Amino acid sequence: MLLRNAKIVTIEVQDSYGLIECGAIAIKDGLIDWVGADDAIPAEYLDGPVRDLEGRLITPALIDCHTHVVHGGDRAVEFEMRLKGASYEEVARAGGGIVSTVKATREASIEDLLTSALPRVDALLAESVSVIEVKSGYGLDRETELNMLRAARMIADHRNVRIKTTFLGAHAVPVEYKDNPDGYIDEVCIPTLKAAHAEGLVDAVDGFCEGIAFNTDQIKRVFDVARELGIPVKLHAEQLSNIGGTKLAAEYGAMSVDHIEYATEEDAMAMAKAGSVAVLLPGAFYTLHETQLPPIDAFRKHGVPMAIATDCNPGSSPLASILLTMNMSCTLFRLTPEEALVGATAHAARALGLSDTGRIKVGLRADLAIWNAKHPAELAYRIGFNPLFERIVGGESTAA
């Protein structure tokens, strides 16, 4: 199939935001076979099916590289509580927060988990999303953690989307281990990680390194097991305070360090050295009324790639729109619209260790978004507006 007469944002190299004013893309066997100017299309492609896109914009399909879309229940009541003045920490300490989602998730069957996640997945797909990372972390017991990962993998049986699963056993201390977080790590989290890995369910290992969750020593024990098993790591770090999670993650060569509002320039330098992607989550920043901005200038200065993601979760970021995430990253974090687009494509792919998608380049997967737009900045600019014309994932097309 040949797509022609389109404006193409290629992002051929990780950081270079190439623009072909009037270009064409040839797709063969689900891969990008050729990209170039519309007046230089090799004859062989003109013989097959040709589609005139009438000047529409083509970008890599968007990628959501940090979500918790699989979970039981919701936290609308907590939303109300916070509006009446309770802080996120207070809600968490009062047995609300993550722990209340754990209860609802434990009560759900795999089918319930899948069924309740699909509408959130569909909202992302409607904005072209081709890859979704899904974390466990609301089970905090062996069976429920495994069920979350199994439900996450099942999403790909029901929709044309790639799912990457991340084990987040070290997300919160469950009530039964309230006074014994070390016991939870050693007796539940680590054995469950081993079981999930044995079942082939783990693409990456994550943790929540925070005063209300786990300290660096506890995360380190989990990361040591990940390393033994050959699984890459990432970390929720420096979201509410700085307790050294970023430096620890960098020591383990983390694929990404996520949130990082309270990270320092030194942390940014450690990430640059480790090659870790900074995953910015403006939905959580917005929802929690956070005012501490992530050190964006330090990331720029030291060449740390910045990805953005929804963090779609029932508590701190009930956000199921990657387009709104792009807008928020510009308005709240002052990213440029170009950085937002690269952050939701090439750098998001890199945060997941994927090198075959997120850019438009010969040999990569044909994961493309065709937009009713003239300029790439339009994607981040409007609020609550979806200009998607068509989504192509693995060469397979779905009209918006």
* Interface positions with Fe ion (CB under 5 A): 311
Our finding on whether 316 is near ligand DI6 (CB under 6 A) is yes
Closest CA to 313 of 216, 208, 238: 208
Q: Pick out residues in 270-289 that bind ligand DI6 (CB under 6 A).
A: 284
Helix axes 142-158, 110-125, angle to 10 degrees: 50
Selected binder of ligand DI6 within 10, 59, 101, 256 (CB under 6 A): 101
Task: Give the span between the Cα atoms of 130 and 70, in whole angstroms.
Answer: 17
What the block records as the tokens of 59 is 């970008």
Size of the site for ligand DI6 (CB under 6 A): 13
What the block records as the tokens of 116 is 């309740």
Which amino acid, one-letter code, is at 246? T
What the block records as the tokens of 395 is 């060469």
Sheet with 256-259, edge to edge strand ranges: 63-64, 131-135, 162-170, 204-209, 234-237, 256-259, 277-280, 306-308
Our finding on whether 97 is near ligand DI6 (CB under 6 A) is yes
**Shortest Cβ distance from residue 15 to Fe ion (Å)?**
25
| Cβ atoms 249, 235 nearer than 8 A | yes
**Shortest Cβ distance from residue 33 to Fe ion (Å)?**
37
Query: In terms of CB distance, is 236 or 247 closer to ligand DI6?
Result: 236
Name the one range near ligand DI6 by CB under 6 A: 26-34, 309-317, 348-356, 385-393. 309-317
Contacts of 274 (CB under 8 A, 6+ apart): 249, 250, 251, 253, 254
Our finding on whether 181 is near ligand DI6 (CB under 6 A) is no
Query: In terms of CB distance, is 267 or 311 closer to Fe ion?
Result: 311
Our finding on whether 59 is near ligand DI6 (CB under 6 A) is no
Of ligand DI6, Fe ion, none, which one sits near residue 284, judging by CB under 5 to 8 A according to partner kind? Answer: ligand DI6
Residue number with the shortest CB distance to ligand DI6? 315
Closest CA to 188 of 228, 139, 251: 139
**Residue 62: DSSP 8-state:** P
Query: In terms of CB distance, is 97 or 294 closer to ligand DI6?
Result: 97
Which amino acid, one-letter code, is at 352? L
Question: E strands, 276-383, where?
Answer: 277-280, 306-308, 368-371
Selected binder of ligand DI6 within 57, 98, 308, 348 (CB under 6 A): 98
Our finding on whether 314 is near ligand DI6 (CB under 6 A) is yes
Our finding on whether 236 is near ligand DI6 (CB under 6 A) is yes
Cα radius of gyration rounded to whole Å, the chain: 21
Query: In terms of CB distance, is 208 or 299 closer to ligand DI6?
Result: 208
| Cβ atoms 9, 18 nearer than 8 A | yes
Selected binder of ligand DI6 within 10, 165, 276, 313 (CB under 6 A): 313
Our finding on whether 310 is near ligand DI6 (CB under 6 A) is no
Of ligand DI6, Fe ion, none, which one sits near residue 98, judging by CB under 5 to 8 A according to partner kind? Answer: ligand DI6
Residues in the chain: 400
**Per-residue binder mask for ligand DI6 (CB under 6 A), 321-350, x = binder:** ------------------------------
Name the one range near ligand DI6 by CB under 6 A: 17-25, 95-103, 111-119, 361-369. 95-103
Task: Give the span between the Cα atoms of 301 and 237, in whole angstroms.
Answer: 20
Query: In terms of CB distance, is 282 or 315 closer to ligand DI6?
Result: 315
Site residues for ligand DI6 per CB under 6 A: 97-98, 101, 171, 208, 236, 239, 284, 311, 313-316
